[in-house]
Structures are given as C-alpha cells and as structure tokens.
Copies of this chain bind each other. A is one copy, B any other.
C-alpha cells in the first residue's frame, strides 16, 4: 500500500496512541518527529480567546528549525488559566526531552472540550510512550491522523507529489474537522508535512495562501474555535534546489499545496457533524472581492439553506433571502441564481424549472449553487454542508 499519510514525505516519523484522556479509549495523542529538523509555518484562529496550545505554538513556530509536533485530542486546554499554560509548556518540554531537542523546537496543538483542566500526567506518560514508537510507516501516519480526531467519523488524509528541479517532492496532510469550522480562521487542526527545501518566509506564504483558498472557504456552523491551528513542516529532504524566491518552482509548490488543502477541506465538509452532503456557493458579478466572499459565506452559513439541502429541496428563495440580508451590493433586476446548471431565478424573475431534476442535483454528494449579483465583476466561493438531526444529536450530548 502506498503511504498516503503525513509520513509519506521524506524525513518524517509519526506515532499515535491512547492516553486515556478520551473516555472512549480511542487514540488521543499524536507525535510527529523530523530527526534532521524542519522549517515550519502556522496559521491560527482569529478568536480572541485561545487555547494555551495556540499561545505556545505561535511562539515556537518562529524557531528557525523545529523537530517535532505534538497534538492531543479530547481536551482543548482552553479557558484553563495559568495551569493550562503550564500544561502546554510541559507538553513541549517533555517531548523535547524525549527527543533531545529544545522545547521551543516543538509545535503544539490541542482540540476537544473547552474549560476542563488537562490531565497532564496521562499526557506526559503518553508522550514518553509515543516517542518510543515513532515510525516512518503509513500505519504510524494513520495513527497520528486518528489521534487528532474528535467528532470526526473517519481519519482524513491526503498526499500529492510534484517534480521540482528534477526531484520528486511530496506534500501530505491530515485534518480534524467536524463542527466549528468557519472562514476567517485557520481551521480546526491541520498538520501538513513536505520534503521540499524552501525558505521559511515562502513556506509561510504558501501555507497562508493555501489555507485562504481551502480551509478558510469552508463553513460548517460559521464559528471559529479557540484552538484552530494549521501547521506545516518542511524537512528539505527531497534534495531539490532550495526555493528562495517566488519563482516557477515556488508557484508549482504553492499550487500543489493549495490543491491538497482543497482536497482536505472537501473531506472535512463531507464529514462535518451530521453532514450527509456538501455544496459550493459561487458568487459572481459582485462589486468587490469582499462582497463576493461575504455573500458566499452568508448562503453557506444559512441554516434554512442547509436544511433545504438536507431535504434535497430546491428552495432557492432562501438562497436569495440570505444574499439580500448580508449587506452586499446587488441589483435585483439582474440578480440570478442557478442550482447546478439549472436556472431557477433570472434577472429578478422566478424561472419555471424541473424541481425533480433540481432535487436530484442537490442529492449528489456535492453540488454547486451560483448567484450572480449583477453589479460588478468580482467572484468568490465558499464550501458548505447540510444541517441535519445528526448535528443536533452530536452537539446536544457532547459534554456530558
């Protein structure tokens, strides 16, 4: 079996195990090790209240080289005061000690319940065990992917390769998704690895751009969590001529990274809490890029649209209502809407259409809604998913 996990790029080992933080006994601690070091970059939540893991990771990602990343699930270590901060520091110290590196060379992320103190002894015991079983195998990478899951129903992985200056470059990633995913934040937890040799500023730029057009275009319930983190580690082990400017080699890497992140974003949408299908909202004819993004998000976030899509109901009035209420410029006499390739509202007038055919389009795993605002030339998009009883079940019962 080909390795499609985060250990696919050269220079990475991983491990995942159960520390007992999750009562279910599922995997809840993942470690990545890059023995020769890696350049790193991160994108974090814009929530004003952040987990201590985010505070610590924001500082450590500035290190010229990092050697490891550690992620725990089942506990967000957010709103946990000074003890929470101490625990985050301890996690990095313990990992650093086991791997014989410095604490600020270890990246960190946490995900799970907010406001509960972290059972730090379980975690430190787990770190010792995990660092003992680090492996470059696909199984080890998959264990890591499983260890960062919360309400996800399956591990999400993606891998891609490109050729850069005659060398094969691999990029891989895993994400944990489900609820609390909204644009304007990084994502929940995304961990990416690559073996390209690239400068740190360009790695950061490529990550930021890729997240902006993938995970940031995804909305499940419109919310930004306290813990959202996307990180990338580049080992440089592929042996390519170092990428140090925005040359064609950089562009090829940036494009591949964006494609990989889009793949992961779509996997997240389809595995969002309770979701059974996803959709892309495309806005055209906007008076500005911001208006286009705002309208796309307004539609994708609109509970009534999400419910209609769950019911495979081509209730386009709710789409138009969402666009009208979000404050963007529009021209009602030119406003138009399509579900897939079916025109349902054209230049301000309802179109008679085949409702059964439209319903069939919505029933697919993924369909596209297009709204033309009729006032300009700008365009943008957003991914969304349906709102189901499963979302309610998961979120009414998650805490206790």
- Kindly provide the distance from the CB of A355 to the nearest chain B CB, expressed in whole angstroms: 7
CB atoms of A223 and B313 under 8 A apart: no
In angstroms, Cα B303 to Cα A302, docked, is 11
Give CA–CA (A324, B224) in the complex, Å: 9
A397 to B310, CA, bound (A): 9
With CB as the reference atom, state the residue of chain B lying closest to A113: B317
B80, A350: Cβ atoms closer than 8 Å:
yes
Q: Is the CB of B114 within 8 A of A320?
A: yes
**Cβ–Cβ < 8 Å partners of A185 in chain B:** 325
Asked whether any CB of chain B lies closer than 8 Å to the CB of A221, the reply is yes
Determine the chain B residues whose CB is within 8 A of the CB of A395 once the complex forms.
Answer: 303-304, 307-308, 311
Q: What residues on B are CB-neighbors of A399 within 8 Å?
A: 308, 311, 313-315
Of residues A47, A222, A397, which shows the largest number of chain B Cβ atoms within 10 Å of its Cβ? A47
Name the prevailing secondary structure of the A interface residues.
loop
- Residues of B within 8 Å of A47, CB to CB, are 321, 324-325
Cβ of A101 under 8 Å from chain B? no
Tell whether A49 is near chain B: CB-to-CB under 8 Å: yes
**Given A313-B399, A395-B304, is A226 in contact with B389 using a C-beta cutoff of 8 Å?**
no
Residue of A116, A315, A359 with most partner-chain B CB within 10 A: A315
Chain A window 264-304, contacts with chain B (Cβ cutoff 8 Å), 1 for yes, 0 for no? 00000000000000000000000000000000000000111
Query: In the complex, are the beta carbons of A226 and B313 less than 8 A apart?
Result: no
A345 interfacial contact with B, CB 8 Å: yes
A48 touches B330 (CB 8 A): yes
Distance between Cα atoms of A114 and B314 in the complex (Å): 12
Contact A79 B320 (CB under 8 A): yes
- Picked from B303, B317, B400, the residue with its CB within 8 Å of the CB of A114 is B317
Query: How many copies of this chain are found per oligomer?
Result: 2
- Nearest Cβ on chain B to A385's Cβ, whole angstroms: 13
Chain B proximity mask over A79-100: 1 for CB below 8 Å, otherwise 0: 1110000000000000000000
CB-contact partner of A317 in B78, B313, B324, B396, under 8 A: B78
Expressed in whole angstroms, the Cα–Cα distance for A360 and B251 within the complex equals: 57
Please, which residues of chain B bring their CB within 8 A of the CB of A349?
A: 81
Known A115-B317, A221-B304, A345-B115; contact A81-B396, beta-carbon cutoff 8 A? no
The interface residues of chain B lying within 8 Å CB-to-CB of A389 are 389, 392-393
Closest 10 CB pairs of A and B: A114-B317, A49-B324, A311-B396, A307-B395, A115-B317, A315-B399, A224-B325, A389-B389, A81-B349, A47-B324
Report which A residues bind B (CB closer than 8 A). 46-50, 76, 78-81, 113-117, 179-180, 185, 221-226, 302-304, 307-308, 310-311, 313-318, 320-325, 327, 330, 332, 335, 345, 348-350, 355, 359, 387-389, 391-400
* Contacts beyond the supplied A114-B320, A225-B325: 8 A-B pairs with Cβ under 8 Å: A47-B325, A81-B348, A113-B315, A114-B321, A304-B395, A311-B398, A313-B398, A389-B389
